[in-house]
Structure 1
Amino acid sequence: MSYHGAVKVGGTPDVRELAHLVITKVAVGPMDNNAYLLRCRATDEQLLIDAAADAPVLLETVGHSLATVVTTHRHQDHWGALAEVVAATGARTAAGRIDAEGIEVGTDLLLDDGDTLRVGECALTVRHIVGHTPGAIVLVYDDPQGHAHVFAGDCLFPGGVGNTWGDPAAFASLLGDIEAKVFEPLADETWVYPGHGADTTLGAERPHLGEWRARGW
């Protein structure tokens, strides 16, 4: 069956098989967070994006060894199970440099804009996005045999950017960074995997950027 990305807490994960990378999406916890397990086909090395909640569910999804857990930003609903997952797997932790101090589990690898994070032979590019939090990151996998894939945390969703709680400066920063670092360099086919809810594509969202800027959220 083809990947659709529609998952729910307590439901079955959805799996997308690319030429070099396998992506498993699972919904966890009381905040309906998405966690993403990435596995390199060549090496079987695995990386988890956002150990949000429900450690037993995440560990069952991981199934075997886990090399890295990346936290997209400092909000607790995105790292609530991090300590348990790391204790069970011995995985190293990674997060944006500025947000790391707000995560109550030590960060082994501090990430900056433009860094490359690897899972086996697959490379993820780190983009620092300011607005939802000061140090949020998104991860971009540019499939050499397909289109790009963006793991957006809470920076981009179907229908808009992440919450900035009515702060005009934070909203302008968030939308500006998303436009400059995601929409401008990447094609419409780029698939977006958000921190909550359904997936989208840049092509579906691009026509609405002006509307988002005008409404201010």
Structure 2
Amino acid sequence: MNARIEHLETSGTFSLDGGTWEVDNNVWIIGDDQEVIVIDPAHDAEAVQKQVAGRTVVAILLTHAHDDHIRQVKDVQERIGGQIHLNWDDKVLWEQVYEGTEPDVKLTDGDTFTVAGATLRAIHTPGHSPGSTCFLAEGLEAHPVLFSGDTLFQGGPGATGRSYSSFETIIESIRTKLFSLPAETTVNTGHGPSTTIGEESPKLQEWIDRGH
């Protein structure tokens, strides 16, 4: 297994529904010394470029199109190359930032990407946004690794209190598509600390009872 995971935390703002909040985002880079995949290059294009350090970019993968995750992606692409992949169910969110444009590739459930001997598979998990997508990596570690974006965090599901989101939908996505993964699966999130499927799955009924 030659591929490794690199983590970069960047800071900026998230804006939707007339409000703006300060946020710290996780940027994930998967690959080796020659090639990488970049997931959610948020806020700081220069920092992402420095981390990539001239390696070939196989793809830029977006877990969803909230502005904190995508506002810098065109600048990032100009600096490091690679095609931008996004599930087009998030069109309305993308166009709030990049009106009249489209991502290079419209991501679909089950799409696969290979980098440095590792394979990532797209899992469509709507709820936080209509097009929210997680990426399941095999061949990185002894157990699977999930890049969950804002669908699943340590301690609960992603927020669903704003436009284009649904608590019932995110719970169904997590229950049927994520909690069927092995308990030892590492979950690398869009914000905050990582967790595992085994840590989070016992809490499902609690989340449902609590609602949103």
Tell me whether the two structures share a fold, i.e. TM-score over 0.5. Answer: yes
Distance change in 2, residues 1:49/1:113 (3 Å): same
Deviation at 1:172, TM superposition (A): 1.2
- Highest relative contact order (Cα 8 Å, sep 6+), 1 or 2? 2
Q: Tell me, yes or no, if structure 1 residue 39 matches structure 2 residue 34.
A: no
Unaligned runs of 5+ in 1: 1-18
Deviation at 1:127, TM superposition (A): 0.6
Contact preservation (8 Å) 2:3, 2:116: no
Q: Secondary structure at 2:198's aligned position in 1?
A: helix
Q: Tell me, yes or no, if structure 1 residue 24 matches structure 2 residue 16.
A: no
Contact preservation (8 Å) 1:153, 1:194: yes
Q: For residues 72 and 60 of structure 1, what CA distance do their matches in structure 2 show?
A: 22
Which residue of the other structure, out of 189, 208, 211, is the alignment partner of 1:194? 189
Deviation at 1:116, TM superposition (A): 1.3
> Aligned partner of 2:146: which letter?
V
The answer for the alignment partner of 2:52 in structure 1 is: 62
Deviation at 1:106, TM superposition (A): 3.5
The answer for the alignment partner of 2:161 in structure 1 is: 165
Unaligned runs of 5+ in 2: 13-22
Distance change in 2, residues 1:166/1:68 (3 Å): closer
Deviation at 1:91, TM superposition (A): 1.5
Contact preservation (8 Å) 1:40, 1:122: no
The answer for the alignment partner of 2:20 in structure 1 is: none
Output aligned runs, 1:139-150, within 5 Å: 139-143=135-139, 146-150=142-146
> Aligned partner of 2:81: which letter?
G
Deviation at 1:144, TM superposition (A): 7.6
Q: Secondary structure at 2:89's aligned position in 1?
A: coil
The answer for the alignment partner of 1:91 in structure 2 is: 82
Cα RMSD over matched residues? 1.9
User: TM-score when scaled to structure 2?
Assistant: 0.85
Q: For residues 127 and 49 of structure 1, what CA distance do their matches in structure 2 show?
A: 14
Q: For residues 77 and 199 of structure 1, what CA distance do their matches in structure 2 show?
A: 19
Q: For residues 208 and 76 of structure 2, what CA distance do their matches in structure 1 show?
A: 38
Which residue of the other structure, out of 168, 176, 200, is the alignment partner of 1:180? 176
The answer for the alignment partner of 1:119 in structure 2 is: 115
Q: For residues 211 and 80 of structure 1, what CA distance do their matches in structure 2 show?
A: 34
